[in-house]
Structure 1
Amino acid sequence: MPALIDDLLNILLGGILLAYRTILLILALLVGSVMPVPTVSPAGLRDASPVTARVAQPLGLPNIVFILADDLDLDLDTVTTMPHLQALLAGQGITFTHFFVNASICCPSRASLLRGQYVHNHGVYTNGPPPTGGFETFRDLGLENDTIATRLQDVGYRTALFGKYLNRYPYGSPSNYIPPGWGEWYSPSPTAPGYNQFNYTLNENGTLVAYGSDPADYLQDVLTTQALSFITRTVTSGEPFFAYFSSFSPHTPSTPAPRHTTLFTDTLAPRPPSFNELDVSDKPQWIQNLPLLTPEEVQQIDDQYRLWLQSMQAVDETIAALVETLEATGQLNNTYIFFTSDNGYHMGQHRLLPGKYLGYEEDIHVPLFVRGPQAPISQTVPYLASIVDLAPTLADIAGIEIPAYTDGRSLLPLLGGSPPAAWRQALLFEQYVGDHHGLRDPLGEPPDPFDSPRFQSAPLFYSGLRTADLKYIEYDTGERELYNLANDPFELENLAASADPTTLAQLAAWLSLLKGCAADTCRSLEMRPPPPPPICAELDFDHSGSVTVIDVAQVAAHWGETPQTPAWDPRYDLDDNLVIDAADMAVIAARWGEICP
Structure 2
Amino acid sequence: MKKYFFTLKFLLSLLCFLISFSAIARPNFIIVLTDDMAVDEFRFMPRTQEYFAINGVRFTNAFVSQAMCCPSRSSILTGRYSINTGVKSNNFPTGGWHVFHELGLESETMAAKLQAGGYSTAYFGKFMNEYGLGNQIPHNYVPLGWSDWYAFVGSPSYFNYPLNENGVIKNYGNTPADYATDVLAKHALNHLNSALNKNSPFFMLISAYAPHSSTDEAIRPTVPVSAPRHKNLFNGIQAPRSASFNQADVSKKPFNVQSRPLLSPEDIDWIDLSFRLRIQSLRSVDEMVGKLIDKLKASPKFNETYIIFVSDNGFWFGDHRFKFGKGGLYDQSHRVPLAITGPNVQPGLVRDDLVVNTDLFPTVLNLAGVTVAPKNYDGRSIQPLLESNKRKTAFNRRSFLIETGQEGRMGIRFDSYAYYETLQTTRTIKELYDTKLDPDQVYNIVDQLTVTSATAISDALAQLRNCKAGTCRKLENTLTDDLVQLTN
Q: Structure 1 residue 231: deviation in Å?
A: 1.2
Aligned to 2:399: 426
Residues 101-120 of structure 1: matches in 2 within 5 Å? Answer: 101-120=64-83
Q: Residue 407 in 1 paired to residue 378 in 2?
A: yes
Unaligned runs of 5+ in 2: 1-21, 215-223
Q: Residue 337 in 1 paired to residue 307 in 2?
A: yes
Q: Residue 164 in 1 paired to residue 126 in 2?
A: yes
Q: Of 291, 296, 300, which aligns to 2:261?
A: 291
Matched AA of 1:341: S
Aligned to 1:592: none
For residues 160-200 of structure 1, the C-alpha deviation after alignment (integer angstroms, 9 at most, x for no partner) is 0000110000233112110000000001211xx432x1111
CA distance in structure 2 between the aligned counterparts of 1:274 and 1:104, rounded to whole angstroms? 18
Q: Structure 1 residue 81: deviation in Å?
A: 1.1
Matched AA of 2:385: L
Report the 3-state secondary structure (helix = DSSP H, G, I; strand = E; otherwise coil) of the residue aligned with 1:117. Answer: coil
Using structure 2 for the length normalisation, give the TM-score: 0.89
Q: Residue 247 in 1 paired to residue 212 in 2?
A: no
Question: Is contact 2:414-2:480 (8 Å) kept?
Answer: no
Q: Structure 1 residue 321: deviation in Å?
A: 0.7
Q: Residue 79 in 1 paired to residue 42 in 2?
A: yes
Aligned to 1:181: 145
Q: Structure 1 residue 60: deviation in Å?
A: 5.3
Q: Structure 1 residue 330: deviation in Å?
A: 2.2
For residues 563-584 of structure 1, the C-alpha deviation after alignment (integer angstroms, 9 at most, x for no partner) is xxxxxxxxxxxxxxxxxxxxxx
Q: Structure 1 residue 402: deviation in Å?
A: 2.7
CA distance in structure 2 between the aligned counterparts of 1:298 and 1:375, rounded to whole angstroms? 41
Q: Structure 1 residue 288: deviation in Å?
A: 1.9
Matched AA of 2:358: V
Question: Is contact 2:353-2:395 (8 Å) kept?
Answer: no
CA distance in structure 1 between the aligned counterparts of 2:256 and 2:168, rounded to whole angstroms? 47
For residues 529-555 of structure 1, the C-alpha deviation after alignment (integer angstroms, 9 at most, x for no partner) is 28999x9xxxxxxxxxxxxxxxxxxxx
Q: Residue 95 in 1 paired to residue 95 in 2?
A: no
Q: Of 465, 468, 471, which aligns to 1:515?
A: 465
For residues 57-116 of structure 1, the C-alpha deviation after alignment (integer angstroms, 9 at most, x for no partner) is 965511000010000011xx2111110111112321010111110101110111011110
Distance 1:100 1:531, change over 3 A: closer
CA distance in structure 1 between the aligned counterparts of 2:453 and 2:233, rounded to whole angstroms? 49
Report the 3-state secondary structure (helix = DSSP H, G, I; strand = E; otherwise coil) of the residue aligned with 2:55. Answer: coil
Question: Is contact 1:100-1:365 (8 Å) kept?
Answer: yes
Unaligned runs of 5+ in 1: 1-56, 434-459, 536-597
Aligned to 2:33: 68
Q: Structure 1 residue 512: deviation in Å?
A: 1.0
Q: Residue 123 in 1 paired to residue 86 in 2?
A: yes
Question: Is contact 1:202-1:210 (8 Å) kept?
Answer: yes
Residues 33-432 of structure 1: matches in 2 within 5 Å? Answer: 59=24, 61-74=26-39, 77-130=40-93, 132-171=94-133, 172-190=136-154, 193-195=155-157, 197-253=158-214, 254-403=224-373, 404-417=375-388, 421-432=394-405
CA distance in structure 2 between the aligned counterparts of 1:501 and 1:422, rounded to whole angstroms? 31
Question: Is contact 1:125-1:133 (8 Å) kept?
Answer: yes
Question: Is contact 1:509-1:530 (8 Å) kept?
Answer: no
Question: Is contact 1:506-1:532 (8 Å) kept?
Answer: no
Using structure 1 for the length normalisation, give the TM-score: 0.73
Report the 3-state secondary structure (helix = DSSP H, G, I; strand = E; otherwise coil) of the residue aligned with 1:475. Answer: strand
Distance 1:272 1:330, change over 3 A: same
Question: Is contact 2:379-2:473 (8 Å) kept?
Answer: yes
Aligned to 2:10: none
Q: Structure 1 residue 508: deviation in Å?
A: 1.1
Residues 445-594 of structure 1: matches in 2 within 5 Å? Answer: 461-477=408-424, 478-529=428-479
Report the 3-state secondary structure (helix = DSSP H, G, I; strand = E; otherwise coil) of the residue aligned with 2:206. Answer: strand
CA distance in structure 1 between the aligned counterparts of 2:34 and 2:143, rounded to whole angstroms? 21
Runs of 4+ in 1 over 4 A off after TM superposition: 57-60, 530-533
Q: Structure 1 residue 421: deviation in Å?
A: 3.0
Aligned to 1:554: none
CA distance in structure 2 between the aligned counterparts of 1:225 and 1:532, rounded to whole angstroms? 51
For residues 131-168 of structure 1, the C-alpha deviation after alignment (integer angstroms, 9 at most, x for no partner) is x1110000011111221001000111110000011000
Q: Structure 1 residue 332: deviation in Å?
A: 1.7
Report the 3-state secondary structure (helix = DSSP H, G, I; strand = E; otherwise coil) of the residue aligned with 2:433. Answer: strand
Q: Structure 1 residue 490: deviation in Å?
A: 1.5
Question: Is contact 1:345-1:356 (8 Å) kept?
Answer: yes
CA distance in structure 2 between the aligned counterparts of 1:58 and 1:486, rounded to whole angstroms? 42
Distance 1:511 1:232, change over 3 A: same
Matched AA of 1:200: Y
Identical amino acids, percent of aligned pairs: 39
For residues 398-425 of structure 1, the C-alpha deviation after alignment (integer angstroms, 9 at most, x for no partner) is 1111342100001111111267535111
Q: Which moved more, 1:228-237 or 1:238-247?
A: 228-237
Report the 3-state secondary structure (helix = DSSP H, G, I; strand = E; otherwise coil) of the residue aligned with 1:128. Answer: coil
Matched AA of 1:488: D
Aligned to 2:4: none
Report the 3-state secondary structure (helix = DSSP H, G, I; strand = E; otherwise coil) of the residue aligned with 1:351. Answer: coil
Q: Structure 1 residue 502: deviation in Å?
A: 2.0
